[in-house]
Amino acid sequence: MEKIKKVAAINDLSGYGKCSLTVALPILSAMGVQCCPLPTAILSNHTGYDSFFFDDYTDRMVKYFTEWEKLKLTFDCIYTGFLGSEKQIEIVENFISIFKKDNILLVDPVMGDNGRIYPTYTDEMCVKMKKLVSGADIVTPNLTEACILSDTKFKEHFNIDEIEEMAMKIHGLGAKQVVITGIKHNDIIGNYIYDGIGDICYAKNVPFQYSGTGDLFASLLCGYILSGYSLKISVRKSAHFVYKATLYSSETGIEHKNGVAFEKILKDVFFSNENEC
């Protein structure tokens, strides 16, 4: 009987507004992967809304995963998302020192978007995130985060040579495989892959911005990689599924803050035609 692969997913949990763990849990489950959440914070709804309840989980994270260590749990992948403080990044480094064996470390360095760094991020946190990225097998920054990690000034449009230079710098930090996401050009969107050799995969783009699409892409990528697909095919399949889910959401009038309505097309997750990208 085939073993069910396990992912330790380190991220926040929002009760409403699909992002972070409320994306990773259903997506990985649908892909036949067990998602084991390690919450960094609990929110009533994500911070894109005017009001929200927030419970910082920093002081409980070590006690939480110490029990996993007692159980001698092993994971096929460690997948990190939004981290809210220097202390949390240090805790994740500790987690990795214990649980990183012959498995994959996928770091989604959630630091900013649209040319702006998130208000919670400090210069010190950026330095620590670079250190975390340096040990990653796969890192998935968007264009803004790629600029931060590569010390590049953000602008609206980069040519392919400039993007490759950023990817090379992130690779130079120590990350084995770099996927720079969300490179927009009219009605297409590119994801630049670099592992010593550069390549770019294009997908159709819906001209609407929904919350949680980065989390959706990274969770899909994690699931496809663990299902045995190559990085390039995994990127293509992930981008195509994000496109389909976003298109469905826009056609059915889903509120942008609530995130994409992937639930209705989860059955298509393994029938995503990467050749359409």
* Cα-based angle 236, 241, 247 (whole degrees, multiple of 5): 125
Give me the amino acid identity at 213. T
The pLDDT value given to residue 274: 53
Residue type at position 129: M
What pLDDT sits at residue 52? 92
Instruction: Give me the domain span that covers residue 179.
Output: 6-276
Contact 53, 44 (CB under 8 A): yes
How do the pLDDT tens digits run along the chain, 277 residues long? 568 999 999 999 999 999 999 999 999 999 999 999 999 999 999 988 999 999 999 999 999 999 999 999 999 999 999 999 999 999 999 999 999 999 999 999 999 998 999 988 999 999 999 999 999 999 999 999 999 999 999 998 899 999 999 999 999 999 999 999 989 877 788 999 999 999 988 888 877 788 899 999 999 999 999 999 999 999 999 999 999 999 999 999 989 999 999 998 998 887 655 554 4
Would you state the pLDDT for residue 1? 56
What CATH number corresponds to the domain at position 148? 3.40.1190.20
151/167 Cα distance (integer angstroms): 11
Q: Is 25 helix (H, G, I), strand (E, B) or coil?
A: helix
Look up the pTM and report it.
Answer: 0.95
Closest CA to 24 of 15, 40, 16, 36: 36
Decide if 43 is inside a domain.
yes
- Rounded Cα distance between 96 and 90, Å, is 10
Let me know if residue 1 belongs to a domain: no
Q: Which of 107, 135, 129, 131 is nearest to 117 (CA)?
A: 129
User: How many separate domains does the chain show?
Assistant: 1
For 140-161, write each residue's pLDDT tens digit: 999 999 999 999 999 988 999 9
174: left (phi over 0), alpha (psi -120 to 50) or beta: left
Are the beta carbons of 212 and 18 closer than 8 angstroms?
yes
238: Cβ contacts below 8 Å, ≥ 6 apart: 217, 220, 221, 224
Of 181, 170, 184, nearest in space to 231 by CA: 181
Rounded to the nearest 5 percent, the helix, strand and coil shares of the chain are 45, 20, 35
| pLDDT computed for residue 276 by the predictor | 47
pLDDT tens digits along 188-210 = 889 999 999 999 888 888 777 88
In a domain, 23, yes or no: yes
Segments in 42-85 forming alpha helices (H): 58-70
Asked whether residue 75 is domain-assigned, the answer is: yes
Alpha-carbon gap, residue 26 to 120, rounded angstroms: 27
Residue 88 lies in a domain: yes
The count of residues in the chain is 277
Element holding 211 (H helix, E strand): none
Assigned domain for 203 exists: yes
Q: Is 32 within the bounds of a domain?
A: yes
Tell me if 66 is assigned to some domain. Answer: yes
